[in-house]
């Protein structure tokens, strides 16, 4: 599902940032896809941690082929050896199981999650071992549909900024804050296009 803010965000960023305008124009028919299956989105984010988009997509396809219905209850029944065989590390398997247990025991929160503000969602999800600020950022962008997430902890995002804006890594906080203000309230749109400028395939969680 295309975010309802997407076209407005593209226009806003194109008017305010010549470099982003050039990147946006390279992908006229592409856009972020919102995944309203909160469980799947978090699992996809765990799978995608610290690996390439291509590698993540390959593992995701194998993971979702393990059972006709991927839900917390069924995932907890999958043998660890089967998960290792599809390319998941033991650490990521533990994280996925932690998320599965969280969804089983926090159904009221999950069912009403869109009624909570960003900080409340962060505070709750960060309690899951394996879910850090980066994973929550991905969840806010790709599942909740927050238009203004700026994932400073994402190495690909920082690399894209350094490449497009001709900056050295680490990019200074002063420059990052300047971009955040310049792109607000559409930092999620800017982030997605910067990712796209580096990756052969669109990122989706």
pLDDT reading at 69 higher than 90: yes
Q: Using one digit for the tens of pLDDT, what is the confidence trace for 130-189?
A: 999 999 999 999 999 999 999 999 999 999 999 999 999 999 999 999 999 999 999 999
Please say whether the beta carbons of 194 and 23 come within 8 A.
yes
| 70-98: average pLDDT | 97
6-33+149-198: CATH topology: Endonuclease Iii, domain 2 (1.10.1670)
| 114-123: average pLDDT | 96
Share of the chain above pLDDT 90, in %: 94
> Using CA atoms, how far apart are residues 191 and 68, in angstroms rounded to an integer?
33
Which of 34, 36, 205 shows the shortest CA–CA distance to 110? 36
38-126: CATH topology: Endonuclease III; domain 1 (1.10.340)
pLDDT reading at 129 higher than 90: yes
Q: For the chain, which residues make up each domain, given as ranges?
A: 6-33+149-198, 38-126
Q: What is the pTM of this model?
A: 0.94
pLDDT band at residue 201 using 50, 70 and 90 as cut-offs = confident
Which of 95, 101, 103, 110 shows the shortest CA–CA distance to 47? 95
């Amino acid at each position: 599902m295309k975010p309802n803010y997407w076209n407005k965000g593209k226009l806003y960023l194109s008017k305010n940032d010549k470099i982003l305008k050039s990147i946006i124009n390279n992908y006229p028919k592409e856009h972020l896809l919102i995944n309203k299956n909160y469980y799947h989105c978090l699992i996809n984010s765990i799978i995608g941690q610290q690996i390439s988009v291509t590698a993540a997509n390959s593992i995701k396809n194998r993971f979702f082929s393990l059972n006709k219905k991927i839900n917390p209850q069924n995932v907890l029944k999958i043998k660890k050896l089967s998960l290792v065989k599809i390319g998941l590390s033991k650490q990521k398997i533990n994280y996925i199981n932690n998320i599965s247990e969280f969804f089983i025991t926090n159904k009221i929160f999950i069912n009403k999650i869109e009624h909570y503000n960003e900080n409340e969602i962060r505070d709750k999800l960060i309690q899951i071992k394996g879910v850090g600020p980066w994973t929550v950022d991905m969840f806010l962008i790709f599942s909740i549909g927050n238009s203004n997430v700026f994932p400073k902890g994402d190495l690909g995002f920082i690399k894209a900024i350094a490449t497009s804006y001709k900056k050295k890594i680490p990019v200074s906080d002063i420059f990052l804050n300047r971009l955040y203000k310049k792109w607000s309230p559409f930092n999620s749109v800017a982030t997605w296009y910067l990712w796209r400028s580096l990756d052969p395939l669109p990122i989706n969680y």
